[in-house]
């Protein structure tokens, strides 16, 4: 019973840094500190798969897994990993979260959490609205291509925390275009039509 209470307290204390990173309530990673394991609770109700990877301090991938659709709780045993610092990457359709952890002989400790968000692209008549929530200072690039794959517009800025920009499409000839919005962690593209 004492061990169960300790595990519950550890799980609650390790969830707090995740909320501090402003991550939306999607997937959560729970650390069973003394068991040297993690539990991924997913919210994957879409057709998109979520994935988990673990890299060591030298950026070598030591583990990868793709979570099946509608599988909402997956436990990973970390006891086979040597002592050291690792990065656990949880890749969802709209967010990537990195958990920096330290594994010792007896426990796993959460050191830091960072989340990065997929930008959104919306069109309203002749206006294109691009938004992105940024964890730190990031490059944001917007490129628009015509049907012949010719670049007809580009925009670049370095922003901190958030990016929101409205682009006027009225100077473009009528037709279909492809918009690509790139941040340091995502490339989002969509097809639009200039009415």
Query: Which position has the token pair 């169960």?
Result: 4
- 145 lies in the same domain as 104: no
Residue 75, phi then psi, degrees to nearest 5: -105, 135
Query: Which of 81, 115, 149 is the C-terminal boundary of a domain?
Result: 115
- 12 lies in the same domain as 41: yes
Which of 183, 179, 149 shows the shortest CA–CA distance to 167? 179
Q: How many domains does the chain have?
A: 2
- 110 lies in the same domain as 95: yes
State the pLDDT at residue 133: 86
- 23 lies in the same domain as 94: yes
- Please state the pTM of the whole predicted model: 0.69
State the pLDDT at residue 40: 87
Ranges in the chain, pLDDT < 70: 1-26, 43-49
Q: Which residues pair with 50 in a beta bridge?
A: 67
- 87 lies in the same domain as 164: no
Residues 6+ apart with CB under 8 A from 129: 120, 121, 122, 123, 164, 165, 166, 167
State the pLDDT at residue 44: 53
Query: Which of 100, 115, 130 is the C-terminal boundary of a domain?
Result: 115
**Span 54-84, pLDDT tens digits:** 999 999 999 999 987 777 788 999 999 999 9
- 104 lies in the same domain as 142: no
- 94 lies in the same domain as 138: no
Q: Contact 43/74 with Cβ under 8 angstroms?
A: no
- 125 lies in the same domain as 107: no
Alpha-carbon Rg for the chain in angstroms: 20
Range of the domain at 70: 2-115
CATH code, 53: 2.60.40.3080
Query: Which of 92, 115, 138 is the C-terminal boundary of a domain?
Result: 115
State the pLDDT at residue 123: 94
Cα–Cα separations (whole angstroms), residue 32 to 2, 43, 103, 128, 181: 14, 20, 12, 45, 38
State the pLDDT at residue 167: 95
State the pLDDT at residue 168: 93
State the pLDDT at residue 38: 92
Distance between CA atoms of residues 8 and 39, nearest Å: 13
Q: Contact 27/40 with Cβ under 8 angstroms?
A: yes
Cα angle for residues 84, 116, 168 (degrees, 5° grid)? 160
State the pLDDT at residue 141: 95
- 17 lies in the same domain as 56: yes
């Amino acid at each position: 019973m004492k061990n169960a209470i300790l595990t519950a307290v550890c799980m609650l204390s390790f969830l707090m840094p995740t909320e501090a990173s402003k991550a939306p309530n999607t997937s959560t990673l729970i650390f069973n500190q003394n068991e040297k394991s993690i539990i991924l609770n997913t919210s994957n109700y879409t057709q998109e798969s979520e994935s988990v990877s673990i890299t060591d301090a030298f950026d070598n991938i030591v583990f990868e897994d793709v979570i099946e659709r509608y599988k909402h709780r997956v436990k990973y045993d970390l006891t086979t990993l040597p002592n050291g610092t690792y990065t656990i990457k949880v890749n969802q359709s709209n967010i990537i979260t990195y958990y920096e952890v330290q594994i010792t002989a007896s426990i796993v400790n959460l050191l830091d959490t960072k989340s990065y968000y997929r930008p959104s692209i919306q069109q309203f008549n002749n206006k294109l609205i691009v938004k992105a929530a940024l964890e730190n200072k990031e490059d944001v690039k917007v490129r628009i291509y015509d049907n012949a794959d010719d670049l007809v517009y580009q925009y670049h800025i370095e922003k901190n925390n958030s990016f929101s920009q409205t682009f006027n499409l009225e100077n473009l000839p009528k037709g279909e275009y492809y918009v690509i919005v790139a941040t340091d962690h995502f490339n989002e593209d969509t097809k639009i039509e200039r009415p």
